[in-house]
């Protein structure tokens, strides 16, 4: 299997989960200026969970704190769908943070446009480790390759702990 660097393309779809509307708007503007498409933004856990379970996107930016709730359940859904994500945070992890998220990729606020792009490319590259198709250059990959090589249908009722 070959590890390849994924380059962000104009078709990259990014789920944005951020409780502060002004920050969500700034993130969305930044992503759109880079040619990416924004899914959401979701401002609460109740808005984020349906998008995380069924929307079509390539990668996600998840603010850890959504008001008084945390976004770890959204991260769990994304892991089940094999969709990479970055945790957005203003500081270090909490001692109450689930063990499964302690080593999750993070983007420390405030961040620059270059940091966002680099972090998204790294998250997508880390997620993809595939054998290239016949005739495909093994050194090149795009987000479209990522979408075609992961399952995009996680039903919480039939997943782990479901019926």
pLDDT digits (tens, 9 = 90+) for 111-144: 999 999 999 999 998 876 432 334 444 444 444 4
Query: Among candidates 74, 89, 108, 86, which has minimal Cα distance to 14?
Result: 86
Token output for 46: 């109740």
Identify the structural domains of the chain with CATH numbers, from first to last. 2-148 (3.40.50.2300)
Please say if the pLDDT value at position 25 is more than 50: yes
Q: What is the dihedral of CA 51, 52, 53, 58, to 10 degrees?
A: 100
Task: Catalogue the E-assigned strands of the chain.
Answer: 2-3, 13-17, 37-42, 59-63, 65-66, 69-70, 85-89, 106-108, 129-130
Whether the ω angle into residue 41 lies within 30 degrees of 0, i.e. cis, is: yes
For 62-85, how does the pLDDT look when each residue is reduced to its tens digit (9 = 90+)?
999 999 999 999 999 999 999 999
Regarding predicted confidence, which is higher, 28 or 92?
28
pTM, 2 dp: 0.76
Query: Among candidates 42, 58, 51, which has minimal Cα distance to 9?
Result: 58
Q: What share of the chain is helix, strand, coil (3-state, %, to 5)?
A: 35, 20, 45
């Amino acid at each position: 299997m070959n590890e390849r660097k994924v380059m962000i393309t104009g078709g990259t779809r990014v789920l944005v989960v951020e409780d502060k509307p002004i920050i969500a708007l700034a993130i969305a503007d930044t992503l759109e200026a880079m040619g990416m498409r924004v899914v959401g933004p979701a401002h609460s856990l109740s808005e984020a969970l349906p998008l995380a379970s069924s929307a079509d996107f390539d990668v996600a930016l998840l603010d850890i704190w959504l008001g008084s709730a945390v976004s770890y359940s959204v991260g769990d859904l994304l892991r089940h769908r094999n969709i990479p994500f970055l945790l957005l945070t203003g500081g270090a992890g909490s001692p109450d943070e689930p063990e499964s998220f302690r080593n999750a990729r993070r983007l420390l606020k405030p961040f620059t446009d270059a940091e966002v792009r680099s972090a998204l490319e790294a998250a997508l590259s880390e997620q993809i480790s595939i054998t290239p198709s016949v005739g495909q250059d093994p050194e090149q990959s795009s987000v479209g390759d990522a979408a075609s090589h992961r399952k995009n249908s996680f039903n919480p009722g039939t997943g782990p702990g479901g019926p």
